[in-house]
A and B are shown apart, each in its own frame.
Chain A
Amino acid sequence: MIEIRNINKTFDNRHVVKDVSFKFLPGKTNLIIGESGCGKTTIMKLMVGLHEVDSGDVVFDGENFPKLDVKGKQEIRKKIGMLFQGGALFDSQTLEENVGFPLDMFTDLSKEEKLDRVNFCLQRVKLEGKNKLYPAELSGGMKKRAALARAMANNPRYLFCDEPNSGLDPKTSIIIDDLIKDITQEYNITTIIITHDMNSVIEIGENIMFVYKGENWWTGDKTEILGTKNQELFDFVFASEFMKTFFKKD
């Protein structure tokens, strides 16, 4: 479990994250939703220490991350898998090397064991046999999937995904959503997913935080979200014509 308590962040006098608190549960797909620019990525980066919190706690299973020293932070980070918005695959490495990278750095697996694990991960994201391709040779969707394979390679306890299916076609989006949900349940991972895709919310929204202008505005799950009386959330959820047609009751 990861608990954030009253975290704040200011960028050059702009208060971007305001006193946000939330509990991200293990074995569940925890969603951070909200319109773009509301501070979702910043919250995620604060949690993993890519930005430093101005104040507040980020507690990973009892350990308060911002208070740890460099060593302590690195130990926690070894248990983190992260899927970046753009994939962030290493350009100079093949798919196989990318996915095997965390294993190279942090395990003493033999070559064969590593290759087995890499192939297993690639097969789960439906990229089997693409071992020797470089990131530049992949489409956007394939990059995202490869990045997910890398994020899950070293059996993370915590999985962070920043817009895992933005820019993907609906079919690939569903594959990725399902995959994330599956591994979350299978390995009891604490998974945090940023999204503004309502399909994903309906599909995998087990524990949702809606962020509005840098604040935790609403929390709940996918069934509660459709009946919300909260005006800002309502506007966010029913912004698309699709949602209006199919879900709006009155």
Chain B
Amino acid sequence: MNPFFHIGRYFMLMFRVFSKPQKLSVYWRQILHEINSIGISSLPIIAIISIFMGGIITIQAAFGFTSPLVPLYAVGFTTRESILLEFSPTIVCLILAGKVGSNIASEIGAMRITEQIDALEIMGINSAGYLIFPKIAAAVLIFPFLIALSMFLGIWGGYAMGVSSGACTEYQYVFGIQAFFQPWKLYYSFTKVIVFAFIITSVSSYYGYHTSGGALEVGKSSTSAVVYSSILILLFGLILTNLFFHR
């Protein structure tokens, strides 16, 4: 369908999502609930992926740097840069787009087709605000912590696997991960994370909210949610990279 139609309808939905909440205490309770279901429940997958990716990056880097001209601490340096700049903020967010995005779209989509959203509207509740705002707020709050954890575990995984496999020495790795550190790059990473958190939750909510039909359509909404939030993550990743690495 016409992309402008979706963009227009998306912004109209967001306008309702961010209109003044009707009862703050209820919103708070929802946000806490969403922090749990979006954030805490994603911890295991993030931990596993981060540790292994850290290890893999380290071993590959060590294998690649065979030239005597490249100092071996480059292994730690490379691992750190890859994880902080790209792996944790982007790849982990893409994985979360799959997990969290499909979850949100199917939850809201099921509520739509079973008239639960109509029921909210009938009670005089702004259903968009009530259902979607807590999800966006929770994600924007909790994603930076999830990604920070992913960064930590990735670097730790690189250390554990790199050193234990003999790819590099403890000293080289520890020296490498501290070398030439530029703090502004963390701003870049966490800006990306917050933008991606917003994209994943709002786009997935959009597809869920505008589901019509039956169970089949809920499945389609959930697929669209993952596909389009992934594409938008990459697009905005590119835009932000251009902004931050501009000379």
Residue of chain B at shortest CB distance from A153:
B123
B116 touching A90, Cβ below 8 Å: yes
Q: What 1/0 flags go to A71-94 for Cβ under 8 Å of B?
A: 001111110101011101111000
Pick from A49, A91, A105: contact of B123, CB under 8 Å:
A105
Interface flags, B44-86, vs A, CB<8A=1, else 0: 0000000000000000000000000000000000000000000
Is there an interface contact between A75 and B121, defined as CB atoms closer than 8 Å?
Answer: no
Contact across chains for B115 and A85 when beta carbons are under 8 A apart: yes
Distance of A76 Cα from B122 Cα, bound (Å): 9
A160 to B23, CA, bound (A): 25
Structural contact, B116 and A77, CB atoms closer than 8 A: no
In contact, B119 and A88 (Cβ under 8 angstroms): yes
Interface flag for B125 (CB, 8 Å)? yes
Q: Check A80 against B122 for contact (C-beta < 8 Å).
A: yes
Flag A177-191 by CB within 8 Å of B: 1 or 0 each: 000000000000000
CA distance A45 to B121 in the complex (A): 11
A48 to B119, CA, bound (A): 11
Chain B 201-224, CB within 8 Å of chain A: the 1/0 string?
Answer: 000000000000000000000000
Contact of A88 among B22, B23, B114, B125 (CB under 8 A): B114
- State in angstroms the CA–CA spacing of A220 and B235 once bound together: 63
Q: How large is the interface on A (under 10, 10 to 19, 20 to 34, 35 or more residues)?
A: 20 to 34
Q: Give the residues in chain A near B124, CB-CB below 8 Å.
A: 73-78, 80, 106
Chain A nearest Cβ from B218, distance in angstroms: 13
- How many B residues are at the interface, by size bracket? 10 to 19
| Least distance between B220 CB and chain A CB atoms (Å) | 20
Cα-based distance from A73 to B121 in the complex (angstroms)? 10
Closest-CB distance, B84 to chain A (whole angstroms): 36
Query: How distant is the Cα of A85 from the Cα of B121 in the complex, in angstroms?
Result: 16
Distance in angstroms from B118 CB to nearest chain A CB is 5
A63 at the interface (CB under 8 A from B): no
Which residue of chain A has its CB nearest to the CB of B124? A77
State whether B116 touches A48 (Cβ < 8 A): no
How far is it, in angstroms, between the C-alpha of A101 and the C-alpha of B119 when the chains are bound?
A: 11
* B110 touches which of A78, A91, A106 (Cβ 8 Å): A91
B contact residues around A78 at 8 Å (CB): 123-124
CA distance A48 to B124 in the complex (A): 10
Point out the residues of chain B lying under 8 angstroms from A86, CB to CB: 114-115
With A77-B121, A78-B123, A91-B116: A105-B110 Cβ-Cβ less than 8 Å: no
When C-beta atoms are compared, the residue in chain A nearest to B37 turns out to be A92
User: Given A50-B121, A106-B123, list of 18 further CB < 8 A pairs?
Assistant: A45-B118, A50-B122, A74-B125, A77-B121, A77-B122, A77-B123, A78-B124, A80-B123, A84-B115, A85-B115, A86-B115, A88-B119, A90-B116, A91-B114, A104-B23, A105-B22, A105-B123, A160-B122
Chain B residues close to A by CB (< 8 Å) = 22-23, 26, 110-111, 114-116, 118-119, 121-126
8 contacts between A and B (CB under 8 A): A45-B118, A49-B121, A75-B124, A77-B121, A82-B119, A88-B114, A102-B123, A104-B26
Q: Which 7 A-B pairs have the closest CB atoms?
A: A77-B124, A88-B115, A74-B124, A88-B119, A78-B124, A82-B122, A84-B115
